[in-house]
Amino acid sequence: MKSAQKRKSGLSTEKRILDAASKNFGYTMLRPGQGDAIAALLKRKDTLVVMPTGSGKSAIYQITGVMMPGSVLVVSPLIALQKDQVDALNETKAKGEAVIVNSALSTSELRENFEKIAGGEGKFIFLAPEQLRKQETIEALERSNIKLFVVDEAHCISEWGHDFRPDYLQLGPVVDRLNHPVVLAMTATASAQVREEIKTRLHLKNPKVLVQGFDRPNIFLRVDHFPDPQKKLEALVHRVRWADKPGLVYVSTRRSAEDIMRMLAEEGVNALHYHGGLKASERTEYQERFMNGEAEVIVATNAFGMGVDKADIRFVYHFDIPDSLDSYYQEIGRAGRDGKRAEACLFFREQDIGQASFRAGEGKLDEQQLEQLVEVIADQEGPVEPEEIAEQANLPERKLTTAIHRLEDVGAVKVLPSGEVSANEDLEVQEAAEAAAREQELRRETRKDRLQRMREYAETTACRREHLLNYFGDDFNGPCNNCDNCQAAHPEMSVDPSVGTRREVVA
């Protein structure tokens, strides 16, 4: 009898979800994983969802939102992403129920939207994470009735992830301050290590974790090996020139992005460059030109990609080795979202590992610098702005941010939702500096390990898809018959001869 009642209850929940999806959003069916996630949230269970881009993660909070009392807070890192999500809601019965708070709004628009939030008028509230550092924002949210706290691009909270954003670190304390509404964390890519950090930093309580398959079977995986940098560069230009387009080329430095873009342009390729050193207006313009087809190729640092959902990208080439398989998988996953054949190629030199290892060590403070930083923080009478700490400790912002995270990890300081830093009352300067130095070294070793995993992928002679998917916990057994190694093992299959041999390109 109890079993029958459970089945009936389950069917009832499923039917209610489908009815809400159909009535409010016009969905006739749910995609894999959506129903399980919504059912967990309706039971007030924190949930972590890892699903590929385009699999319908947004529908999870949309459907849950209309089935729950109270408001839904969606933390999304990019203004463009927020706009896309609001535009999508406005095409449904939820039209007009979304409120946005971001830096693109005028003072009067912000004031009006804060009043709406405090008055409980907005069903869906979209915020950038940096807005949660403002007391005005927190107070407005406290007066509203937040029942579902959604963290989009949740991997941004992980320092082991591929797109770490310090502003995400405050989200856990904000969840607590709002009396811990149900939390939904969503991301397209997260290894087991990143998933654990998401759960910890967001203060998730015994969450349900849903991971959909990582495989993108239409993407051909290959690695080309090169004896020297000039041949590697020539091969890249050659391949991009003759490849089906549009496509992406990822590089590690701003200078490389600009230099390679110019080389491609000289070969007649309609290419643009993209990196964090461009003005915001330039980044927006270049991204739009690529999205609408005016430009064939973007040569970019990892500043490009989040929020980019262009279905027909035919290739993603990495001229420099990424710092981890997490980063690599996220970036190659931008290819072939239309389901048609696409290619991901890593251009690899043995010496690339040393250069990447050097980049990974940037931002590290020695123990003396850490001790000096702790003394500056300890000497303050109360919470202090990071900019003031940087000035007094004579540290660049990047190094300061990293060091403060290490001090917070060892319990020496606390970062408030406002972004201010305060020292713990029983802070021992030398002890805190030594503990932070140990934590820093531990993380350096972890970065080396992640880079080694990337090297193993580059040098494996086995199925690359098996190697990649097993890293993310997918139980995939090769051959995939859609990577260079599998094709080399099966001579009857066609092999792309456009550059040279699989193991080393010498032309």
pLDDT (average), residues 4-14? 55
Fold matches, 219-349 and 361-447 = no
What's at 25, amino acid-wise? F
pTM for the model stands at 0.77
- The three-class DSSP label of residue 495 is coil
In CATH, the architecture of 10-211 is 3-Layer(aba) Sandwich (3.40)
Q: Residue 60: what pLDDT? A: 94
pLDDT (average), residues 41-49? 96
Q: Residue 5: what pLDDT? A: 42
Question: Does residue 506 have a pLDDT over 60?
Answer: no
Q: How many CA atoms lie within 13 A of 287 on its CB side?
A: 18
What is d(CA 392, CA 374) in angstroms, rounded to the nearest whole number? 11
pLDDT per residue as tens digits for the range 197-220: 999 999 999 999 998 878 889 999
Consecutive H or E run containing 240: helix 229-242
pLDDT per residue as tens digits for the range 314-342: 999 999 999 889 889 989 989 998 889 99
Q: Residue 213: what pLDDT? A: 75
213, two tokens: 């398959």
- The three-class DSSP label of residue 56 is coil
What is d(CA 238, CA 267) in angstroms, rounded to the nearest whole number? 9
Residue spans of the domains in the chain: they are: 10-211, 219-349, 361-447
Closest CA relative to residue 154, chosen from 258, 8, 262, 46: 46
CATH class of 219-349: alpha beta
Q: Greater confidence, 300 or 382?
A: 300
Candidate from 146-155, 355-364, 480-489 with smallest mean pLDDT = 355-364
Quickly tell me which residue has 């495989």 as its tokens.
Answer: 215
What is d(CA 507, CA 231) in angstroms, rounded to the nearest whole number? 7
For 153-184, the DSSP string reads TGGGG-TTSSS--GGGGGHHHHHHHTT--EEE
Q: How many CA atoms lie within 13 A of 278 on its CB side?
A: 21
Handedness of CA 213, 219, 220, 221 (dihedral sign): negative
Closest CA relative to residue 330, chosen from 156, 170, 462: 156
Maximum CA extent, the chain: 75
- From 3.40.50.150, 3.40.470.10, 1.10.10.10, 1.10.357.10, which CATH number describes the 361-447 domain? 1.10.10.10
